Amino acid sequence: MEQKRRDIVKALSALTATLMIPFRGQTETVMQGRIPTDTGELNDLSDIVNLFDFEKMAEGKMTRMAYEYVASGAADEYTLRWNRLSFDQLKLNPDVLKDVSKPDTTITLFKHKLLYPILIAPTAFHGIMHPEGESATAKGAGAAKAIYTVSSFTTTPLEEIKKVATEPLWFQLYIRDDRDFTKNLVQKAEFLGYSALCITVDSPVGGARNRQAKVKFKLPDNLNAPYVNGDFFAKKPLTWKEIEWLISFARTPVLLKGIMNPADAEKAVNIGASGIIVSNHGGRNLDTVPATIEVLPQIAEKVNQRIPILMDGGIRRGTDVLKAIALGAKAVLVGKPICYALASAGAEGVTKALEILRSEFEMAMALTGRATIGDINPSVIWK
């Protein structure tokens, strides 16, 4: 009886998530289709047990404007929800009685050894989330031994972030109308030691960010994004020609962020990109594009290991990381949870978020009988 009730509640909450009745502060738990259980008070970091908890804690600490900026997606937020639901709909197929006593989560990416395949996705304006802004994120990433991809729309200068970083930093680039400015910015990042460039290619214009419009989102007067240089969105066309131009002078690996189909992935390989990031911008740009985990297998088939594929969008659980790798990703990036963790507890929050995800991933590997990353393949997904 109890089980039946749970099934019904579960089905209903999944339906609610699909219809998107907004539940402030519970967006991500409800989207996950779980029974919204009372997790008790979230007073400090020791009360946090999973990435969803960070959203609830952060909501109480952020301004309404900042919370809406982070939590929202584009338009009716279908893609935002699908990013999560598509992970939940994939079932796992564990192998038992394997020796998983020495789990190895390391990978090598552009000649750098990562202890585990989880990076911080570029997210703008950390100054609205925590007084220490991007510096806290870098410290938190450093303590968790993870790579942090700094957004072009950072509220902290690149040199300041670099000063406190103890692990490699990557730089996300929006190609600006002023090409000299863009080139100088890339060269500055490279000079400072940022070790890869992610060019975001999915934003010729912004999405229909209704929730941001409702709160009249703008940067508070005390904050400044030093590399915005004009309008947020470029007026000049951004095409494959500009990517070729950028690759021609970049000295670090160039990844294209925002690839969503095999044809564009093929072009990225042919133009000489060092990697791609399968991303729909966390559902913030074009609503009703598929979930990233849904398009990943076709893209992986096309790319056929010629360059590494990273992915983001909806990664909240260690099992999500496992599924992404099984379907062709070399590593994953995490966006919103890091923002919430930063807002909840600064650098320590960021470290804890990464550690939770890493340990859940290790658990997921062990429980599916996969001792190394090389052991993770599509057979881990139940068919």
Q: If binding is defined by CB under 6 A, does position 296 make contact with ligand FMN?
A: no
Toward ligand FMN, which CB reaches closer, 48 or 100? 48
In angstroms, the CA 1 to CA 382 distance is 27
Q: How many other C-beta atoms are found inside a 10 Å radius of the C-beta of residue 48? A: 23
Q: Binding segment for ligand FMN among 31-39, 163-171, 175-183, 329-337 (CB under 6 A)? A: 329-337
Closest residue by Cα to residue 301 from 332, 248, 263: 263
Q: If binding is defined by CB under 6 A, does position 279 make contact with ligand FMN?
A: yes
Q: Is 281 a catalytic residue?
A: yes
Q: To the nearest whole angstrom, how small is the minimum distance from the Cβ of residue 171 to ligand FMN?
A: 11
Toward ligand FMN, which CB reaches closer, 230 or 374? 230
> What one-letter code names the amino acid at 16?
T
Q: To the nearest whole angstrom, how small is the minimum distance from the Cβ of residue 359 to ligand FMN?
A: 18
Site for ligand FMN in 231-270 (CB under 6 A): 257
Q: To the nearest whole angstrom, how small is the minimum distance from the Cβ of residue 114 to ligand FMN?
A: 18
CA angle 359, 114, 247 (to 5 degrees): 135
DSSP 334-363: E-HHHHHHHHHHHHHHHHHHHHHHHHHHHH
Which of 336, 352, 358, 370 is in the footprint of ligand FMN by CB under 6 A? Answer: 336
Is the Cβ–Cβ distance between 292 and 276 less than 8 Å? no
Q: 276-289 b/e with 16+ CB inside 10 Å = b?
A: bbbbbbbbbbbbeb
Q: If binding is defined by CB under 6 A, does position 318 make contact with ligand FMN?
A: no
Q: Binding segment for ligand FMN among 96-104, 116-124, 135-143, 157-165 (CB under 6 A)? A: 116-124
Q: If binding is defined by CB under 6 A, does position 122 make contact with ligand FMN?
A: yes
Toward ligand FMN, which CB reaches closer, 51 or 307? 51
Residue nearest ligand FMN, CB atom distance: 335
In angstroms, the CA 286 to CA 197 distance is 23
Toward ligand FMN, which CB reaches closer, 86 or 100? 86
Q: Which of 112, 126, 130, 281 is catalytic?
A: 281
DSSP 37-85: -------SGGG--SHHHHHHHHHHHS-HHHHHHHH--STT-HHHHHHHH
CA angle 115, 117, 121 (to 5 degrees): 120
Q: If binding is defined by CB under 6 A, does position 282 make contact with ligand FMN?
A: yes
Q: Binding segment for ligand FMN among 42-50, 119-127, 188-196, 343-351 (CB under 6 A)? A: 119-127
β-pair partners for 332: 118, 311
Closest residue by Cα to residue 148 from 114, 185, 105: 114
Site for ligand FMN in 55-94 (CB under 6 A): 69-70, 83
Catalytic residues: 281
Which residues lie near ligand FMN (CB under 6 A)?
69-70, 83, 121-124, 151, 153, 172, 200, 257, 279, 281-282, 284, 312-315, 334-336, 339
